[in-house]
Structure 1
Amino acid sequence: MALLPPPPSSSSSLVFKVHRREPELLRPEKPTPHEFKNLSDIDDQEGLRSFVRCIVFFRYNPSMEGKDPVKIIREAMVKTLVFYYPLAGRLREGENGKLMVECNGEGILFTEADAEVTLEQLGGTPQPPYPCMDELLYDVPGSKNTLNSPLLVVQVTRLKCGGFSLGIRYNHAMVDGQGLAQFVYGVSEISRGAEAPSILPVWERHLLSASDPPKVTYQHLEYVDTAPNSEIHHEHLGELVDRSFAFGAKEVATLKSLVPQGKQFTSFEILTACLWKCRTIALQLDPDQEVRVMCVVNARNKFKNPPLPIGYYGNAFVLPVALTTAGQLTQNPIEYALELVQKAKGQFSQDYVRSVASLMVTEGRPHFITERTFGVSDIKHSWVLAFDFGWGHAVSGGSADAGSGEFPGCSYLMPYTDKEGGRGMVASLSLPSLAVERFQKELDTMLLN
């Protein structure tokens, strides 16, 4: 069964001291070009003018005794920033609010810290909601302005057991999750002695910009509110809380067995369908209420003419949606939800991406619709567990905000390794407190079939 795995201590009951040094600006080790670079029209949308937090955890390694992760990562970052020098710049607005980055080498914010807590006290292989996240990634005052502020905020925290955590907050307009992971992977390679990242960064943001003239060739429901007077109110179910649910190979196989044989689908698709249906039931929505599923689709491997270069680290995803009613979703077999998920994903193409870019230009960078929307971002194949700064691969990590924040209806699928070494996925969600038990009940019912 995919049980709700709470941390051994909640962030409210787990209390420990953190000793921080004053944040410092890390600049590229060598002089870099001072220039202005335009962001793509996919980067330059209202919904991405925000910050995302992530964190990665590492165990103590006796072979690294006497070596300091803070010193090693700091030195590797300034070397890596020579290659990724736009990340050391600042975002500016040009004509009509168009985003660009001034590559001025001002630097990223870096904080060194020591925490009087062990990795085991944090859960051994901590999963979202990560306990005491605010302690493990300092919210530097004045650093959360989208414009004219550091694009990366980093904190390396030594733990009492000899392990450590790496917390990062990044400006989403500048990079997506995979782009950020590519940067951190490069830092990890240089920390182990490489002269340069094995995958060199590529800018080329014009490849994801609108055509000239702009051509919107698809209906983009992800940016259109089709039921503007229909809002979901679930305040009576309590405040939103972040929870995570583990799915191993057994659970995924059970969910797949609910679908008639012969139908082709991926693990992402069946998990998204399952989570969407269980969440909708748990929220007790009116049967006529419109509900949406939004799939975060990575475009990197889909571009053919021309292809996106390996090393592209800008935002390279789109958000196609499908919609139905709560009644149809909850009363039909899981295959119905699965078909809607596949319908959403099936809209994707290289032309679809260009159409989104054109929409940003012609419609003034609209924000994607979050009301009545359940979105899923698949980062289970990210490089998080491949990060190795010399202490061995990360034991866990991923998005630190679970699904709360600006888009509480968003869930993240993240890689997971249990204490026996089994690989699986963790799905993070935000749910009203009184809906958590109903969600778990519906999920258990599916998994017991």
Structure 2
Amino acid sequence: MAVNGHVEQADNGDFSVQVRRRELVPADSPLPESWLPLSNLDLLLPPVYPTFFFVYEKPIDIHLKFQSMISALKKALSKMLIPCFPLAGEVVTSPTGEPEIHCNNNGVEFIEAYADIELRNLDLHHPDASVAGKLVPKRPTAVLCLQVTELKCGGTVLSCTLDHRVSDGYSAKMFLDAWAEMTTSGTISAAPTFRRSLLSPRRLGLPDKSLNDLYRVAPPALPYTPRAHEYAGRIYYMKAEAMASLQALAGSSHGTKRTKFEAFSGCMWKAMAKSAGDGETCKMGVIIDGRSRLVDDVRSMDTMARYYGNVLSLPYSESEAKELTCNPLSWVADQVHDFLESRVTTDHFLGLVDWVEAHKPHQLMTSLVYKGTMEGPSFAVSNGRVFQPSRLDFGWGKPILGSCYFPWGVDSGYVMLMPSPVGDGDWVVYMHLFNHQLNMVEAELCDILEPLKLANLMSSSSPICRGGATF
């Protein structure tokens, strides 16, 4: 189903976007109708829609036309939807009141658009103005929504918006990698698995009571913040040498080296604590992928590595803001390491599956989001190191940038790191925080975070000239 011969145009401040075509792309082979339950870990997620997007310069091959790129993408997508058939379905409510996937091959939403702006002028440092509703859809209507936007200069932005109840970041990465492989080679080396029995609960007993502190039964309506207008998104660039310096400062007082992620998370925790009021605490959650913890042999390791769905936990720690600001980064990084070490375990993830089973069919949610920032600053950090944007070559070159856009609508901030595809060891950092928190973070971390500027990432040999005419 497509919108043909109709152009939607929206005036979006500095540039306009035309939707040339909007359609549902089904699998290119008939699929039997079926229903796929969500796993217990899927049921921890509300209906929110994160987006990952990737920016490409104009292809070096001047004979490669945009419509040829679109045709190749859709052809590969229809093939991908045979092994990934749930992504062409719809999330519906089961007879027991829980969400499930109706695998009806309704199709993936595919949007072809045109943006009247050149790549070098695209301000991705302020994604609320340049990305929302322009380079990503305003309201996704399917389990998976893809948008490919041609820029005035011949560059391209490809975005992927997912229903979080069906996909986590690892799953998104797995789909995107396979889609690129299918587009360029006509096949994929490893098909995802939707085998829900991998996350079956154990014999019901008494779930770990500590999980009652991390998760809770959600109220009838999710606690969407009445202060949403006070949030803003920013995207920053972090050089490898800045990260190395931060990691050195975060080194344990006992001589133990902390990971880059622990160092950055500790640094963010300290900066956010400075935005707290007198006597307030500061809460930081860390999104953890549990696939590597749910394996007991080589065979199950391969299967879990291909598992499509949510295998996440969001533990958090809470400390007095004054304690976080007064202690050195090494002390804070130790706190991050210690609370993660107690949660990144097999028992934690197996216990979480059991805990959800004991609380069905209620909607569940993380306590970090529920408590919100009214009691002090609250935010979650996600490590997107599994994303390797350099792998996403669909036949017209590797992207110069990969990032996310996720204003998740709750009274808590969100931060995500992704590796840069052009700088060896560089990082791209997305933040969704209150305006005053962003101001504090920028003031505290001005030595390591730079406002993202696409012109700094463009290759000198690009067909898109930075300072002159576009060819």
Structure 1 length-normalised TM: 0.84
Q: Is the 8 A contact 2:238 2:428 kept in 1?
A: yes
Structure 1 residues 130-139 or 310-319, which shifts more?
130-139
How far the C-alpha of 1:224 sits from its partner, in A, is 5.3
Q: Which amino acid aligns with 1:329?
A: L
Q: Is the 8 A contact 1:39 1:100 kept in 2?
A: yes
Residues 290 and 60 from structure 1, CA distance in 2 versus in 1: closer, same or farther, beyond 3 angstroms? Answer: same
Q: Which amino acid aligns with 1:316?
A: V
CA distance in 2, matches of 1:279, 1:137: 29
What residue is the counterpart of 1:351 in the other structure?
347
Residues 38 and 215 from structure 1, CA distance in 2 versus in 1: closer, same or farther, beyond 3 angstroms? Answer: farther
CA distance in 2, matches of 1:404, 1:38: 24
What residue is the counterpart of 2:409 in the other structure?
405
Pairs within 5 Å for 1:288-307 = 289-305=280-296, 307=300
Equivalent in 53, 56, 65 of residue 55 of structure 1:
53
Q: Is the 8 A contact 2:89 2:106 kept in 1?
A: yes
Pairs within 5 Å for 1:13-92 = 15-45=14-44, 47-63=45-61, 65-67=63-65, 68-92=68-92
CA distance in 2, matches of 1:14, 1:261: 53
Q: Is the 8 A contact 2:405 2:430 kept in 1?
A: no
The residue matched to 1:348 in structure 2 has which SS? Answer: coil
How far the C-alpha of 1:240 sits from its partner, in A, is 2.0
Residues 263-285 of structure 1: CA deviation (Å, up to 9, x unaligned)? 2321000100001110121x232
How far the C-alpha of 1:217 sits from its partner, in A, is 2.4
What residue is the counterpart of 1:441 in the other structure?
443
What residue is the counterpart of 2:389 in the other structure?
384
CA distance in 1, matches of 2:47, 2:408: 16
How far the C-alpha of 1:378 sits from its partner, in A, is 0.4
How far the C-alpha of 1:64 sits from its partner, in A, is 5.7
Q: Is residue 138 of structure 2 the alignment partner of residue 167 of structure 1? A: no
Equivalent in 333, 336, 358 of residue 338 of structure 1:
333
Pairs within 5 Å for 1:23-422 = 23-45=22-44, 47-63=45-61, 65-67=63-65, 68-122=68-122, 126=124, 129=127, 131-140=130-139, 143-144=140-141, 150-194=142-186, 196-213=187-204, 215-217=206-208, 219-220=210-211, 221-223=213-215, 239-259=230-250, 260=253, 262-281=255-274, 283-287=275-279, 289-305=280-296, 307-308=300-301, 309=303, 310-346=305-341, 347-363=343-359, 364-369=362-367, 370=369, 371-372=372-373, 373-401=378-406, 405-406=409-410, 408-417=412-421, 421-422=423-424
Please report the RMSD computed on the Cα atoms of aligned residues, expressed in angstroms: 2.8
Equivalent in 399, 414, 430 of residue 432 of structure 2:
430
Residues 77 and 13 from structure 1, CA distance in 2 versus in 1: closer, same or farther, beyond 3 angstroms? Answer: closer
Q: Which amino acid aligns with 2:338?
A: K
What residue is the counterpart of 2:457 in the other structure?
none
Q: Is the 8 A contact 1:24 1:110 kept in 2?
A: yes
Residues 57-105 of structure 1: CA deviation (Å, up to 9, x unaligned)? 1111132623322221111111111110111111222243233212111
How far the C-alpha of 1:29 sits from its partner, in A, is 0.4
Q: Which amino acid aligns with 2:134?
A: E
Residues 408 and 384 from structure 1, CA distance in 2 versus in 1: closer, same or farther, beyond 3 angstroms? Answer: farther
Q: Is the 8 A contact 2:261 2:383 kept in 1?
A: yes
CA distance in 1, matches of 2:408, 2:319: 24
The residue matched to 1:192 in structure 2 has which SS? Answer: helix
Q: Which amino acid aligns with 2:405?
A: A
CA distance in 1, matches of 2:421, 2:144: 28
Residues 254 and 59 from structure 1, CA distance in 2 versus in 1: closer, same or farther, beyond 3 angstroms? Answer: same
How far the C-alpha of 1:42 sits from its partner, in A, is 0.1
Residues 13 and 154 from structure 1, CA distance in 2 versus in 1: closer, same or farther, beyond 3 angstroms? Answer: closer
Segments of 5+ residues of structure 2 without an aligned counterpart are: 1-10, 218-222, 450-471
The percent of aligned pairs where both chains have the same amino acid is 24
The residue matched to 1:410 in structure 2 has which SS? Answer: strand
Q: Which amino acid aligns with 2:444?
A: E
CA distance in 1, matches of 2:133, 2:108: 19
Residues 12-49 of structure 1: CA deviation (Å, up to 9, x unaligned)? 9852232213421110001123211222100112x333
CA distance in 1, matches of 2:216, 2:37: 27
CA distance in 2, matches of 1:198, 1:48: 32
Q: Which amino acid aligns with 1:211?
A: R
Q: Which amino acid aligns with 1:301?
A: S
CA distance in 2, matches of 1:434, 1:166: 31
The residue matched to 2:112 in structure 1 has which SS? Answer: strand
Residues 186 and 422 from structure 1, CA distance in 2 versus in 1: closer, same or farther, beyond 3 angstroms? Answer: closer
Structure 1 residues 199-208 or 421-430, which shifts more?
421-430
How far the C-alpha of 1:430 sits from its partner, in A, is 2.7
Residues 349 and 394 from structure 1, CA distance in 2 versus in 1: closer, same or farther, beyond 3 angstroms? Answer: same
How far the C-alpha of 1:239 sits from its partner, in A, is 2.2
CA distance in 2, matches of 1:94, 1:212: 24
CA distance in 1, matches of 2:126, 2:169: 16
Q: Is the 8 A contact 2:269 2:282 kept in 1?
A: no
What residue is the counterpart of 1:9 in the other structure?
none
Structure 1 residues 173-182 or 208-217, which shifts more?
208-217
Runs of 4+ in 1 over 4 A off after TM superposition: 444-447
Residues 116-150 of structure 1: CA deviation (Å, up to 9, x unaligned)? 21211115xx456362431122335xx55xxxxx2
How far the C-alpha of 1:357 sits from its partner, in A, is 1.6
CA distance in 2, matches of 1:253, 1:185: 28
The residue matched to 2:294 in structure 1 has which SS? Answer: coil
Q: Is the 8 A contact 1:222 1:294 kept in 2?
A: no
How far the C-alpha of 1:215 sits from its partner, in A, is 4.4
Structure 2 length-normalised TM: 0.80
Residues 249 and 59 from structure 1, CA distance in 2 versus in 1: closer, same or farther, beyond 3 angstroms? Answer: same
Q: Is the 8 A contact 2:125 2:234 kept in 1?
A: no
Segments of 5+ residues of structure 1 without an aligned counterpart are: 1-11, 145-149, 226-230
Pairs aligned (count): 414
